[in-house]
Amino acid sequence: MGLQEVWFILIAVLFTGYFVLEGFDFGVGMHMPVLGRGRDETADTRRRVLLNTIGPVWDGNEVWLITAGGALFAAFPEWYATLFSGFYLPLLLILLALIVRVCAIEWRGKIDDPTWRRRCDWGIIFGSWVPAVLWGVAFANIIRGVAIDENKQFVGGFFDLLNPYALLGGVTTALVFALHGAVFIALKTAGDVHEDAVKLARRLAIPAIPVAGGFVLWTQLAYGKDWTWILVAVAALSLLVVVALTAAEREGWAFAFTTVAIIATIVLLFASLFPNVMPSTLDPAWSLTIENASSSPYTLKVMTWAAAIMTPVVLIYQGWTYWVFRQRISTGQIPKSIGLTIGSK
């Protein structure tokens, strides 16, 4: 195995880690209107519970995307350039949504005003739904292929990206992240929020299983390899097991199996893509591959040494963070807002 193959796998691992970890972050934000419902004070307390489930980890989870983007730029600059120029609008929308989400989470408690908090909540909701959908659209188009000419330039239009396969990919990631987030909330909370999250996870499994199953089956039949059938089976069976585990209120195992389903799906996508990194729909000879899109061997060698030294440190630190903040949270642990207390008198 050469360094080009190694870095293709590493980029796949980085995006897999991002979708697993940021996936439940998105799910928590997507459920703010549902699990955060109630009268003003009750709704605010429930929404603070939801945000506290991801409070210690959400910004660390986003580092996986930054690292994946940096690795993509350094290891496969041609892939990076074609991807970001061709997918400029959807990637810009994802970036803007993530910025809005970051600001809303960080600034929500800075002003003690119910109207301000509601506006921040809508920023969190918007910043969670938009990436959850558009990441699926983007990756589905990468697997399907786009219009790339002999100069490695994307020559298609924005609406070319809105094809049926890509739209199904967007719906799939939104539903799976929503299910992943609901199970995570059930795992991390107690009391009424926990009970509502369990019920929501059961309901979400009904559309998530056939939609996700249809997407992975389409991917396998159109772009997969013989051995990737096992990934289709793992993803489908994992989602079915989640239904049973959620009904039995075994949230820890249910979360483990939503994680397995996401991992199997992302591995299926990258395995279907290899050895291409961006197929051309105009001429297969114009496709970007791990060979014609990569950096020099020296660059890849230096990056490999840096990754070998730093990656274990980052993984240990992030694992420690999750261990420290592993306790469940309930509404009884959330102090009342001064503004809401005054307003309720």
pLDDT at 180 over 50: yes
Q: What is the mean pLDDT of residues 296-318?
A: 89
Query: What predicted TM-score, i.e. pTM, was given to this entire model?
Result: 0.91
Q: Name, in order, each residue with C-beta under 8 angstroms of 161's C-beta and a sequence gap of 6 or more.
A: 87, 90, 137, 138, 141, 146
pLDDT, mean of residues 3-24: 94
Q: What range defines the domain where residue 141 resides?
A: 15-299+308-344
Residue 242 has what pLDDT?
92
Residues 155, 11: contact at Cβ < 8 Å?
no
Owner of token pair 């330039």:
153
Q: Which residues pair with 276 in a beta bridge?
A: 289
Is 3 within a domain? no
What average pLDDT does the chain have?
A: 90
For 251-255, the CB contacts below 8 A with 24+ separation are 251/183, 251/186, 251/187, 251/198, 252/187, 254/183, 254/186, 254/187, 254/201, 255/24, 255/180, 255/183, 255/184, 255/187
Angle in degrees, 0-180, between the axes of helices 3-30 and 251-273, rounded to the nearest 10: 140
Q: What is the 3-state secondary structure (H, E, C) of 40-95?
A: HHHHHHHHHHHHHHHCCCHHHHHHHHHHHHHHHHHHCHHHHHHHHHHCHHHHHHHH
Please check whether residue 23 lies inside any domain of the structure: yes
pLDDT at 343: 32
Does the pLDDT at position 329 exceed 60? Answer: yes
Asked whether residue 250 is assigned to any structural domain, the reply reads yes
What is the four-CA torsion angle of 27, 32, 33, 36, rounded to 10 degrees? 130
Q: Which band of pLDDT confidence, cut at 50, 70 and 90, is reported for residue 337?
A: low
List the beta bridge partners of residue 146.
280
Q: Amino acid identity of 329? A: I
- Quick one: tokens of 22? 């940021």
Residue 210 domain-assigned?
yes
Position 245 in a domain: yes
Q: What is the pLDDT of residue 249?
A: 83
Q: Compute the average pLDDT of residues 132-136.
A: 96
Q: Are 168 and 123 in contact (CB under 8 A)?
A: no
Planar angle of CA 59, 136, 258, nearest 5 degrees: 65
What is the three-class DSSP state of 146? strand
Query: Does residue 1 fall inside a structural domain?
Result: no
pLDDT of residue 158: 82
pLDDT(344) > 60: no
- Percent pLDDT > 90 in the chain is 69
Residue 8 lies in a domain: no
- How many domains in the chain? 1
Mean pLDDT of 130-140: 96
In this structure, is residue 206 part of a structural domain? yes
Alpha helices in the chain (DSSP H): 3-30, 32-35, 40-54, 58-75, 77-86, 88-107, 114-144, 164-188, 192-223, 229-247, 251-273, 297-324, 338-344
